[in-house]
Homo-oligomer: A and B are copies of this chain.
C-alpha cells in the first residue's frame, strides 16, 4: 500500500515503448500463452517486444532470452506471467535491470493466505527500494484499447475493442468487463486498469493518471474500499482541477456487502456514510449499479453540464411522457418552460391533439414523418431554457421506430445539448441499432435516464462551485498547539472538563459548579444565580447519564438542589453499581426557545477526522438527519453542510418560530474543526445537544463527550 502522496507518471505503463513478457509460452491456454497472443495477434504494438523464457530459444518463431537481464536497452514494462514461486525473484531481476514498471499477472498471493501476504511485502520492498512501480499481482492486466494494446491474458480482449472516452479503474475484474461491454450500446472504454491486489499501484494512481490523459473524458471506478484516504483525495482533486468527472460505485453499503467485499479483496473500508460524504465533497459522482456507471459516464462524455440545465421530455406516447415528467419531478429536476417561439414551431409541426407544452406528446406522427420528427425535436432542443432532452421510445414498431430514431440522431448531430434516448422495450428492432451506431448510448429505462440527467446536472453544479474556489479537504493536520491545546497526559475526560476545554475555544457552556456533597450543591445553586438549574452525575464511565437516573432538571431552590443531589447518587448507585461516581455537576438551565443540534467529530480509519452535524436529541437516532464533512471546516463549508440537513429549516425559523443563531452555529463548527486540527489526538468529540438560541443569542453546549487517543 502506498504511503506517499507522490504519483508517478504512468505514461510508459499505459503505452510502453518496450515490453518484456516474462513467462512467454507456446501453450495457448496458459497465462503466458494468452498474453502473447493478445500482444502479437490482437494488438497494434509498435514498440519492442522481448520474450523471456528460461528454457525455450524461440516461441512462434520469435527469439526468446533466458532472463530480463539479457535484454539490451531500456525496458518500460515487464509483463510477468511466471509461477507464483518465481515472481519475487523475477521482480528483483527487473528492478536490477531498472525496468520502469512491472505488471504481475500471476495469482496466488495475499488472496490465498499468510505466505502470499509475505511475498507481497517483499514485492513492495523491491518497489520502494528501486523506484520500479508494480501493478498487480493477481490481476487480468491492463487494456489500452485506444492504442489497441492488450497487456492482458483475457481471452475476451480480442472481442471487446471499441475505443472511446471512458477510462476505467476497477478493483476486481468482473464488473469492469460489464462496463467494457457497454460498447454494444455505442460507448467505448478506451482504457481499463484492473490491478488486482494493488500491492503498489492502486486505483488512486490510475485516477490521477487519467486526470490528464488526453484520450479520456470521464473516469469510472468500482471500489470495494479506498486503501489510502489522502491519496484518493489528491487523485480526485487532480481530476477535478483538470475537468474530468469521476463516477464511482462503492460496494459495502450493507453489512453483507462489507463482509463480502472484505473476503474478496480485503480492502479496508471506511463506513459507507463517510465514503458517500467524501465522494460528495470531492464531486465524485456515486452510483449504486453498474448500469448507472455506464449511463452517467456516457452522458458526461457527451456534454459539459453547468448545473443549471432544465429538462424537456419528448415522446410519442402520452402515458410514457407523463411517466418521464413524473420522474423528472420526483428527482428534483425542473421541466423547462418553452418560450412562445418554441410553442409556435411545435404547433406548426404537430397535430391538434398533440401536447406541445413540456412534456411534449407528439403523437405517432413522428413515427411516420421523419421531417416532423426532426423539426419538432429540433424546436425543443433549440429552446433557450432546455439543457437536456429525455426522449423515451416505449416500444419497437419496426421501420417506423427507426424513422423516429434517425430523426433524433440527426438533431443530436446539430446540438451540444444531450438528447437522452430511452429504449424501454426488450425488442431491440432496428431503431435501437440506429441509436447505438449514432453514438447516442440508449438508456434502458425512464428512471435510469432521469437519474443520469440528475447526476449530470448535480455534477455541473458542483463543478461550478469548485471552479469558483471550493476549498479542498485537509490532507494533513495543521501544526502548532495554539490557544486551547489539550493538557498533556490527560486520559479520561469528564463532562465538566470537556466543557471547560470547549470554553477555551470560545464555545459557550452553562455556568456550573462541580460538587461532591449536598451542602456544596446548595451553595452552587446560589452562586450560579439562575432561576433553574440542572444537576447531573459525573462519572468517567457513564455516557448516557439520564438512562441511569443521573439527571434532574428544573431545580429552583438551594433546598431542592440538596435533595436532588442525594436522589441522583441513590438512583445511579442502584442503576449502575459498578461505575465510579466522582460527584455531581450543577448547571444553569436555559430558559427561552432553542433548537437542539448535535455536533460530532470522529476519526475515520481511511479518511481521518470527519465532522457530523444535525438535529440533536432523540431525533438523530430516529431520523439520521445529519450532514458530514472532512476537516478542516471553513465558515463556507460549515454553512454548506448545514444546508444539506432538513433541520436547517428549523434553524431558519419554521412556521412562525424565531430564526435561530445560524452564524453562531457556523462559528462553533469552525471552532470545533480548529480544535481538532490543533489537537489531532482527539479521537472523538460530541456535543449533544448544542442549544442554538434565537438570532444574536448564540449557542450553548449543554452536554459534551471528549475521547482522546491513548497513543497520541
Interface residues of A (CB under 8 A from B): 111-112, 155-156, 159-160, 170-175, 177-178, 180-185, 222, 224, 249, 251-261, 263-265, 288-291, 294, 316-323, 325-330, 335, 353, 355, 359, 361, 394-398, 424-428, 444-447, 544, 546-548, 615, 618-619, 621-623, 625, 646-647, 649-650, 654-656
Contact = CB atoms under 8 A, between A and B. Distances in A.
A647 to B, nearest CB: 6
Contact of A318 (B264, B321, B359): B264
Given A174-B395, A256-B335, A623-B623, 6 more contacts: A181-B425, A253-B330, A259-B325, A294-B426, A618-B654, A622-B623
Contacts of A319: 170-175, 222, 224, 251, 261, 264-265
A288 B265 CA distance: 35
A458 B329 CA distance: 27
12 contacts: A173-B319, A175-B320, A181-B426, A251-B322, A256-B325, A257-B325, A257-B330, A261-B319, A264-B319, A290-B424, A291-B424, A622-B623
Nearest to A615: B622
Nearest to A223: B319
Contacts of A548: 656
Given A112-B353, A260-B359, A394-B177, A546 B656 contact: yes
Contact of A257 (B159, B329, B428): B329
A675 to B, nearest CB: 28
Contacts of A263: 322, 355
Nearest to A249: B323
A112 to B, nearest CB: 6
A396 B174 CA distance: 10
A610 to B, nearest CB: 22
Nearest to A255: B329
A656 B544 contact: yes
Chain B CB count within 10 A is highest, among A178, A222, A650, for A178
Contact of A622 (B177, B184, B447, B646): B646
A309 B335 CA distance: 42
Contact of A322 (B111, B224, B322): B224
Contacts of A111: 353
Contacts of A290: 323, 394, 424, 445-446
Given A260-B359, A319-B222, A178 B425 contact: yes
Chain B CB count within 10 A is highest, among A251, A335, A361, A647, for A251
